[in-house]
Chain A
Amino acid sequence: MKAPVKAFRIDVEAVSSFLPSRALRGWHGILLLALLLTSLAIATAHAQSGGGTGPQSPLATLIEWIPFILRGFLLNLGMSFLAMAIATVLGIGLGLLQLSRTRFLSVPAWLVTHLFRNSPWLVILFVVMLLVPFELQLPGGGTFVMSDWLKATFAFSLPVMANLSEIVRGAIVSIPKGQWESAESLAFTHGQTLRWIILPQCVKRAIPPWMNWYALLAMATPMASILGVREAVGNAQAAMEAAGARPELLVPFYLFLLLLFFAYIYPISIWTRMIERKYAVES
């Protein structure tokens, strides 16, 4: 009975040496990108030689539609930037409110944080789509049109906001009590301590998880296609439709989307690891 138990043990040293060094290397991403470009080049050559009669080959069709898909991808990027900006501002505020000494503030902040942290993003997306009106009446008298992509952006910002709220809260709590005490005895007020001493120390700790959540957010933006937002996936689907909805188009189109997102997200995750390691060494 002894041997199997041993077999299931995790070799801690192997795990720690495997994770940062072998699994995440910049050249892996470049390799995959090169693979993508090569396959596209082959496909182009194939399409050019095959021309004339009959329907276009799936790869040729894909190449024809790539600019259209990439235009959609710009919307994915735009949505992810805007949603991250909203999530960061709201998340920091919510994180601070969670730590408020006034229960009137901390309890609602805690509730909002945990509500959005523990719900599926897709459900949040539907709820926002249904609850946020199409037009907002501005106090000045004008109207602001809430287009679908804007609503989706707001919806994606909510779960990220909630997770950033927890990151901010955790970072503040992790600062040793002595920092507060020495600041207090140097006559810093509570707000000054937070502004000049605590939050600057939190930034370093919070940057890697913040980037992680950005990556998750960027990967979630295609969900907006379900609601008709014309981002990369939505455009790819529209393109397949326009090209005759042939089933053989599905695999190349979705593989392309996979590689497209991977090529964007993977460098971010490598960068996050690098920053994480740098800070780990420094402290």
Chain B
Amino acid sequence: MPSNPEISPHRAAPANWTPDMPLVSIKDVHKSFGKLEVLRGVSLDVKKGEVVCIIGPSGSGKSTLIRCINGLNDIQKGSILVEGQEVNDPKLDKLALRKKVGIVFQQYNLFPHKTALENVMMAPVKVLKEPRREVEERARALIAKVRLSGKEDVYPGHLSGGQQQRVAIARSLAMRPDVMLFDEVTAALDPETVKEVLLTIKELAAEGMTCILVTHEMGFAREVADHVYFTDRGVIVEHGPPEELFTKAKDERTQRFLSQIF
């Protein structure tokens, strides 16, 4: 049987993309929910290994933007390239995209009927059809990495919010993504468990994982981010390295927002 030329190996990036180009390239993205325009021409680039934080008031479109990157929300106009692959393409190979992009949600969304270990193993085993034993080894290592050794066989309902969120991070990492999206991952947590989740993300960033975070943790953004974007009402108001944005914000809206936070 001749092989189908249209099916390419998932890992192969389009020929026109090289690692020195932006890993994620967002250009003039517009997104509406009905009449409500949530994103009004957003552009940003994220290089490989970079940690980018998106901050801004509630309803400024931060979460929507991050969800567009892995195709959970579709866009009306503009372009989102992940390793050169156009997300805004009806013929998008979703499996290939979702192997490259991991996402962690505010509400963890762990599968409650599966243990922590099973949560981490599920997608590689069921979707990627990788050998069980290999996946299990990797999953145990990931659970250790997020400092949850010993909790492998515990169901999500018996874990704290912070622990659940770290399982969710491990679950996402099990797909070996090239970029991780964090959608307000500490917003639903008790203050005392926020730290442990942020620590996990910090370690991940230190290892060179490309991270895009939507966050309200300004201290964390300042410490970890390479670049910070301030969004308001669907546009990027200003952006820059954290030291610059947090101390010398030029735009009056950024100043007002930061003064309310600090």
Contacts and interface: CB of A to CB of B under 8 A. Distances in A.
Interface of A: 176, 178-179, 181-189, 192, 196-197, 200-201, 204, 282-283
Interface string B90-105: 0000110011011101
Contacts of B258: none
A123 B171 CA distance: 53
Contacts of A196: 122, 126
Looking at chain A's contact residues, the main secondary structure is helix
B72 A179 contact: no
B105 A186 contact: no
B113 A201 contact: yes
Interface residues of B, number: 26
A187 B109 contact: no
B175 A197 contact: no
A189 B103 CA distance: 16
Contacts of A183: 111
B98 A185 contact: yes
Nearest to A185: B103
B18 to A, nearest CB: 25
B109 A192 contact: no
A203 to B, nearest CB: 9
Contacts, number: 58
B123 A186 contact: yes
Given A179-B109, A184-B72, A185-B102, 17 more contacts: A179-B111, A182-B103, A183-B111, A185-B72, A185-B98, A186-B98, A186-B122, A187-B123, A187-B127, A188-B123, A188-B126, A188-B127, A196-B122, A197-B111, A201-B111, A201-B112, A283-B112
A186 B171 contact: yes
Nearest to A197: B111
A179 B101 CA distance: 18
Contacts of B105: 178, 181-182
Nearest to A180: B109
Contacts of A189: 127
A182 B109 contact: yes
B107 interface: yes
Contacts of B101: 185
Interface string B63-83: 000000010100000000000
B172 interface: yes
A192 B112 CA distance: 16
B111 A187 contact: no
A240 B99 CA distance: 73
A186 B94 contact: no
Most buried by B among A176, A179, A182, A192: A182
A186 B112 contact: no
Given A192-B127, A196-B122, A178 B107 contact: yes
B208 interface: no
Contacts of B168: 182
A179 B113 CA distance: 11
A200 B34 CA distance: 34
Interface in B109-163: 109-113, 122-123, 126-128, 157
Given A179-B109, A185-B103, A197-B111, A282 B157 contact: yes
Contacts of A176: 107, 109
B175 A186 contact: yes
A183 B127 CA distance: 10
Interface in B225-261: none
Contact of B98 (A187, A192, A204): A187
B42 to A, nearest CB: 20
Contacts of A184: 72, 98
A171 to B, nearest CB: 13
B122 A283 contact: no
Nearest to B99: A187
B107 A186 contact: no
Contacts of A282: 157
27 contacts: A176-B109, A178-B105, A178-B109, A182-B105, A185-B103, A185-B172, A186-B98, A186-B122, A186-B123, A186-B127, A186-B175, A187-B94, A187-B98, A188-B123, A188-B126, A188-B127, A192-B126, A192-B127, A196-B122, A196-B126, A200-B113, A201-B111, A201-B112, A201-B113, A204-B113, A282-B157, A283-B157
